[in-house]
Structure 1
Amino acid sequence: MRVEQGLTQRQLAEPVYTPAYISTLESGRVRPSDDALRHLAGRLGVAFDELATGRSARLVTELRLRLTEAQRTFAVGEAEAAAEQYAELLVEAETQGLAGEQAAALLGLGECALETGELVAGRQYFERAEACLADAPLPARVPALRGRAVAHYLAGELRYAVYLLETTLDELNRGGLHDPDALLLLYASAIGPYMDMGAHARAAQAAEFALALAPQSGDPALVARMHRSVARTLVAEGRLAEADASLAKAAELYRGLQIRTELANCHWMRGYVYAQDGQLERAEEELREALGMLSAKRAALYSSQVAVELADVLHRRGKSDEAAALLHGVLDDLSPERGAVHSAAAHRLLGIIAEDARRTEDAEEHYVRALSLLERAGAAGDLADLCRLLGDLLRRTGRVEAALDAYRTGLGHRTAPGTTTLGPAPAQPPL
């Protein structure tokens, strides 16, 4: 820097130090004190941190601006392009030794991986981000922990996903770490797994806490995501008008932020709401809109999940052949490790379609495959319903004892406590 600026060693040293001292610093024989570094930084017109760490403040600022640009790329639905940006930024952050920026790049890569259905890679990115932030306060680590939980949830590991979310919530609440954004993110993320596990009371409580925390959050995207999650609990309670209003708020926020992925998810949830309310034509319109938006962004896993729900609506509208074709087309993209609950739902619906067509053996095969997927995921409510379907099929074909076994299994799932492996619910936030 001295040579670039045309300064002599004497000019850099004076009036506090000698040219000989500057010479020893430049040759690496002596380590400068903080006072010396401050003097030199002032003479060179740079920040103290730049001399102390060897990192250019300008380069760090540019790196952070490019991280923001990558976030924007992801937000408008270009997950693959965003992943390329994040990968480049991760290398630069590692070279510069910037732990916070490394974590941000890894979080971005994790979100991109979830978007494209690469759940194992996504979980690994979130684990690395958490390791980068090992010395940071818990609220700073919440996005990485939440990312890990979502990866496990999408893989069908509902109980472990809830375990991660609940233990983090307990640590935040019991430790007095009242961070509204962190708490809102965790409560909103827990709603989906709770609903799939049949723990509707706990899902409703999480939604209540999330709604109470929303006014304290400074992140409109997070608030919009919360509204989308809360809609699920409102549907379960039969409060369909409120659910639709919540989704309308979310969609408005997402449009303002130009976040197409989440906007697609709003169409998805509105389709779900209309389907629950029996408004099948409107449900089909919303789900087709969501499927088109997600497919355009090549969000394979989410597209497959929407396709399953669209197939259910098509079947209920008398379009069973189209529904079956759609389900067969997406089953290859779903597996026990990628979307177990929706994979089971696809087999369940194919079983119903086969039963309607009097193809009993095909129906039984689909029900049994769905049962295996749901048992692994621990989706109690769906398991109970499936056991009833299987029991009815077995009874109609004269296998009464096997039907009784299926009904008993279903009753066991229905009467199991709608809780997680932890027992008590997480501590309540200090609202």
Structure 2
Amino acid sequence: MIYRVSMTGESLGARIRRLRTARGWTQRELAGPRYDRGFLAKVETGTRPPSDEVLDYLARRLGLTVDELRFGRPPGVAEALWTELADAYRALQQGRVADADTIFGNAAKRAIAYKLPDVECYARFCRAEVLWQAYDIEGSKAAFEHAARLGASAPAWLRAMITHRWVTCEYLLGAAGAAVAHAEAALAEVRAATPVDPDAELALLSALIHPLVEMGGLRRARRAAEDGRLAAALASRPDFIARYHRQAAQLWQAVGLGDRADEDLGEALRLFTSLGYDRDAARCRWARGFLLRRMDRLPEARAELTAARDLLAAAGSREGILGATIELAEVRRRQGALDEAEALIEDVRPLLDDAPDVEAVGEVHRLLGLIAHARDDLPRATTLLRLAADEQERASLRSSLVNTSLHLGDVLRAQGLLSDAVHAYRRGVLAAVDSDSDVVG
């Protein structure tokens, strides 16, 4: 019979012999008192397959676990790999992308060799995060799907986080409804388990908030935020708690609770900073710049977004650079610096061209349309705002569509195109009616 071999090609019998001789033991000393020397000799030469009971006995005699003996794992290798991956993930957050990716790849290979599917799942998740940080949305989505296929033995929090990231990718690719349905199905599965894992529940509730807000589903988003507050009180992972606070802040600002949103962002920033998660901390500052802009505190918003963009660049987050720059361009437009706003958008055009982020594409077209309107170039404004509205409608981004439709109607009315203006206004009204945005603070 042929036994499993280790990553060096060593058979199980040869491994038992090596471990025995390294300890200076005879075959009788290892086998006894339960088995005799002749039995162990057959095991070591590979002529007698050891049963699970035999492996358990020999492993305990050698001071190993059964799987350490069976697969040639060094003692404690699983725990060491988990720690190594967590440290490398922090390095990724701090912009040391190439170094982190090398560690992720090597860890995945060792996990495969040592038959550690849960560790391999985590390593694959981390490698998907590298693609996400590079703003390869389609590539990262496929990589998260690969990680998910390895998730049967992974902890619930990791499976939930993979789903969280997959949902974000699906949303950015224009399938907001499918993203929400997937997250809600995963959440129902987590809640059906006994006991419910609060970290997994929190990760999935956090994943729901942003797409629901953008789809106009404020009632459902608020329910997710309130449920998330209860789960956060029981959760043990500070990164999940921080991510929840950052997502919840978007809901609070959408329903007019700016102070509560600012409080959540402050807590998220504190937690991410304490973890050394520079990328996520910078995203909190980006979110706060967005909040300050909505509160019409434009000088403060400009300072926060400028800092966020610089920090995201240092962390190597292409997605973050794009989002913070677009928001900074909106602030500068509102401050009347039209040329600077347009230049900011042109600076990130290459990032946008490489990524099918429908939310960002729609926002850029809307913003350029508003700049054209401010310059009295009404035909160009009309074209760009129509593009934005079409993109937002296809992606079910009803909240953005309401805003864009209002601006488009104003531009059309200024050109005397009253019938077209009425159609644009009606489109916005229908988008508002289709949402459940009657939630108030």
Give the secondary structure class of the aligned counterpart of 1:2: helix
1:24-423 to 2 correspondence within 5 Å?
Answer: 24-134=42-152, 141-174=159-192, 177-334=195-352, 338-418=356-436
Task: State whether residues 198 and 418 of structure 1, in contact with CA within 8 Å, keep that contact through their aligned partners in structure 2.
Answer: yes
Question: Is the Cα contact below 8 Å between 1:221 and 1:254 reproduced in 2?
Answer: yes
Q: State the distance in 2 between where 1:114 and 1:140 align.
A: 16
Shift in alpha-carbon separation, 1:410–1:335, aligned structure 2, 3 A: farther
Cα displacement string for residues 253-296 of structure 1 (whole angstroms, at most 9, x for unaligned residues): 22222211111011111111111111100000111111001111
Deviates more, 1:300-309 or 1:119-128: 119-128
For 2:397 and 2:355, the matched residues in 1 are separated by 15
In structure 2, what is the equivalent of residue 426 of structure 1? none
Quick one: structure 1 residues 120 and 308, their matched pair in 2 at CA, closer, same or farther if it must change by over 3 Å? same
- State the shift of 1:193 in Å: 0.7
How far 1:56 sits from its partner (Å)? Answer: 2.9
Cα distance in 2, alignment partners of residues 147 and 13 from structure 1 = 50
Tell me, in whole angstroms, the C-alpha distance in 2 between the residues paired with 1:171 and 1:11.
Answer: 51
- For structure 2, the 5+ residue unaligned runs are 1-18
Superposition misfits of 4+ residues, deviation over 4 angstroms? 135-140, 174-177
Distance 1:79 1:137, change over 3 A: closer
Give the Cα–Cα distance (whole angstroms) in 2 for the partners of residues 280 and 40 of structure 1: 70
Q: How well do the aligned residues superpose, as a CA RMSD in angstroms?
A: 2.2
Tell me: CA distance 1:269–1:36, structure 2 relative to 1, closer, same or farther (3 Å). Answer: same
Alpha-carbon shift at residue 42 of structure 1 (Å): 4.2
Q: Which amino acid aligns with 1:185?
A: A
- Contact 1:251–1:263 under 8 Å retained in 2: yes
TM-score, scaled relative to structure 2? 0.89
How high is the sequence identity, in percent, across the aligned residues?
31
Instruction: Check the 8 A contact 1:116/1:300 in 2, yes or no.
Output: yes
Residue 278 of structure 1: SS of its match in structure 2?
A: coil
Change (3 A) 1:61 1:249: closer
Shift in alpha-carbon separation, 1:344–1:335, aligned structure 2, 3 A: farther
Aligned to 1:334, the other structure's residue is in SS state: helix
Q: Deviations over 1:174-233 (max 9, x none)?
A: 555522111111111211111111112222221111122211111112111111111112
Secondary structure at the aligned position of 2:183 is classed as: helix
Q: How far is the alpha carbon of 1:57 from its aligned partner?
A: 2.5
Structure 1 spans left out of the alignment, 5+ residues: 420-431
User: Could you tell me how far apart the structure 2 residues matched to 1:152 and 1:206 are?
Assistant: 19
Aligned residues: 419
Quote the Cα distance in structure 2 between the aligned partners of 1:377 and 1:189. 17
- Secondary structure class of the residue paired with 1:134: helix
Instruction: Flag the 1:336–1:67 CA change in 2: closer, same or farther, 3 A.
Output: closer
Q: Secondary structure at the match of 2:49?
A: coil
Deviation at 1:350, TM superposition (A): 0.8
Q: CA deviation at 1:405?
A: 2.4
Q: d(CA) in 1 for partners of 2:98 and 2:295?
A: 36
Find the aligned partners of 1:375 and 1:167 in 2 and give their Cα distance: 24
SS at match of 2:236: coil
Deviation digits for residues 291-332 of structure 1, max 9, x if unmatched? 001111221122111111110111111211100111122233
1:79 and 1:413 map into 2 onto residues whose CA distance is 41
